[in-house]
Amino acid sequence: MATSAGKTVPESAPKRKLTYRKTKARWHPSMQAIPVPGIRRMVNMAAEMDDVIHLSIGQPDLPTPKHVTDAMVDSIQAGQTGYTMDAGLPELLVALRDYYGNRYGRKLSTENILVTSGATEAMYLALSATAAPGRQFLVVDPSFLLYAPLIRMNGGEVKFIPTRPENGHQLDPDDIIKNISMRTFAVVLNSPNNPTGAVYPKSTIERIVEECAFRGIQVFSDEVYDHLVLDDEEYSSVLSCGTDLDHLMCISSFSKTYSMAGLRVGWIISSQGAIKKLRRYHMFTTSVANTPAQFAGVAALEGDQQSVRDMIDIYRERRDLIVDLVNQTPYLTGYKPNGGFFIFPDLPDHVDASDLCLRMLKETGVCTVPGDAFGEHCTNSIRFSFSTTSERIEQAFERIIPWMKKQNL
C-alpha cells in the first residue's frame, strides 16, 4: 500500500495494454443471401467516367404530374407532417379501395389494404413474413432482383422457372403447374415483368391463380408496372381472377405510373386476416409510409389521368425504336416487349454478358445491366432500359452497333 496525504491507497494496478482484435462484423448468416449486385458495379464504374449514356435506369424519367406534387406541398404546408394510421392514410385507403373496385369489379374493403413504403417494403413484408425452411417458392427467371434473396434470407427455397426470348419471355402456365410439388408454398408473379417487359395474358394469370387456390398455394403478384401496357390488351391483375383473397397478395405502388419512385408509397391487397398480421409487422419495420407522399397518392388516383395516357404513348414510341435498334445490332436476339420500359435481348449462349457489359461500358460509355442480376438462366442477356429519351437511345446505339460489329463472339 502506498500512502498519499496520510491516506492509504491501493498500489496502482499495472496498466493493461489495450489491443484491438480485428474481427469480422458479426452479421446474421442470412445476409449471405444478398448478392453483390452487378448493377452497382456498373453504375459505380459509370460514375467515374465522362459522357456515359445510361440505358440502365430502373425508374421513370418523366416528370411527376404537377397536381400530384402540389398535393404533397400543400399537405406539408397544412401541417400534415405527423404519423398516419399504421395501415395508411384513411383517405388513401378509401381511394385505393374505390380505384381497385372499379378497375376489376372486385368488392374490397379498406381492411384489405396496407399502405407501405413502396412496393419494396410490401414485398419485404410479404416474403419475409412467409418464407421459412421447407417452403419452396416458384420464381420466374429472369425476374426482379428482390424476390429470391428475400426468400432465401428467411430460409425459404427458390425454384426458378425459366422463360425464353424466343416467345417474348411469356410464361407458360404449365411450366409453373408441372413444377408444383409437396414442398411448394408459393408462386411469385410479376407482369409486366422487370427485366423482360413480358405482359401475361388473362388466360395465364387465371390458370395459375386457380390452380394455386385449388392446391392451397399462395400467389404473390408484383404489379408495379400495371399501367405500362404498351399494346392494345387489357391488363390482367390477380385481382381480376375470381378466387378469394386468402391465396393472393397483390403488390403495387405509385413509383412507375405517376413517376413517384422517390416518394415511396406502395401497398399490399390481400385478405383481411393477412392484412391484420402484416400491419403488425409493418409497425415493427417502417411503422408508417411517408404522410405527405400519401396525400400525393390520393391526388394521383383521384386526379386527371392524362399523364398516364401520355406516358404510355411515349414509352410505346421508345419501345418501337429500341426493338428496331436491337434488331440491327450484331449478336443480339431481340423480341417485342409489350410492357414496362425494358428489353432483355440474348447474346449467343456461351457469352458472359457481365464481362461484355463491362467492356461495352469502358469502351463505348453505354451503361446497361447484365442478365445475371435477374436470375440464373440468363447470364447471356442484357437489360436495356428505355426510360430515357429517344435521342439518347439513338445515340447509345450509334456507339453500340459499330462496337458490336468489331466483337468476335
Ligand X SMILES: Cc1ncc(COP(=O)(O)O)c(C=O)c1O
Location of C-alpha cell 442480376: 373
HSE at residue 305, side-chain half, CA atoms within 13 A, is 8
387 part of the interface to ligand X, by CB under 6 A: no
* Contact region with ligand X (CB under 6 A), list: 33-41, 163-171, 253-261, 326-334: 253-261
Contacts of residue 35, defined as CB under 8 A and 6 or more positions apart, other chains included, come to 145, 149
Question: Bridge partners of 302?
Answer: none
Q: How far is the CB of 385 from ligand X (least distance, A)?
A: 10
- Exposed e or buried b per residue across 41-63, where buried means at least 16 C-beta atoms within 10 angstroms of its C-beta: bbbeebeeeeebbbbbbbebbee
259 part of the interface to ligand X, by CB under 6 A: no
Q: Which of 130, 170, 190, 387 binds ligand X (CB under 6 A)?
A: 190
In the complex with ligand X, the residue whose CB is nearer, 342 or 397, is: 342
Q: Which of 38, 60, 65, 118 binds ligand X (CB under 6 A)?
A: 118
C-alpha cell at 187: 408462386
119 part of the interface to ligand X, by CB under 6 A: yes
261 part of the interface to ligand X, by CB under 6 A: yes
Contact 380, 350 (CB under 8 A): yes
- How far apart CA 358 and CA 58 sit, in angstroms, is 18
In the complex with ligand X, the residue whose CB is nearer, 253 or 368, is: 253
* Contact region with ligand X (CB under 6 A), list: 113-121, 267-275, 328-336, 366-374: 113-121
Q: How far is the CB of 117 from ligand X (least distance, A)?
A: 8
120 part of the interface to ligand X, by CB under 6 A: yes
Q: Which of 142, 266, 297, 375 binds ligand X (CB under 6 A)?
A: 266
* Contact region with ligand X (CB under 6 A), list: 114-122, 304-312, 383-391, 397-405: 114-122
- How far apart CA 300 and CA 254 sit, in angstroms, is 8
Strands 342-343 and 366-367: unpaired
Mapped onto helix, strand or coil, the DSSP state of residue 324 is helix
Burial class (CB in 10 A: 0-12, 13-18, 19+), 312: middle
Residues 131 to 150 in contact with ligand X, rule: CB under 6 A: 144
338 part of the interface to ligand X, by CB under 6 A: no
Contact 402, 395 (CB under 8 A): no
Pure H helices in 59-201: 66-77, 90-104, 118-128, 147-153, 173-177
Q: Which of 184, 221, 253, 329 binds ligand X (CB under 6 A)?
A: 253
The residue nearest ligand X at its CB is 118
194 part of the interface to ligand X, by CB under 6 A: yes
Q: Can you give the binding site for ligand X, defined by CB under 6 A?
A: 58, 118-120, 144, 190, 194, 222, 224, 253, 255, 261, 266
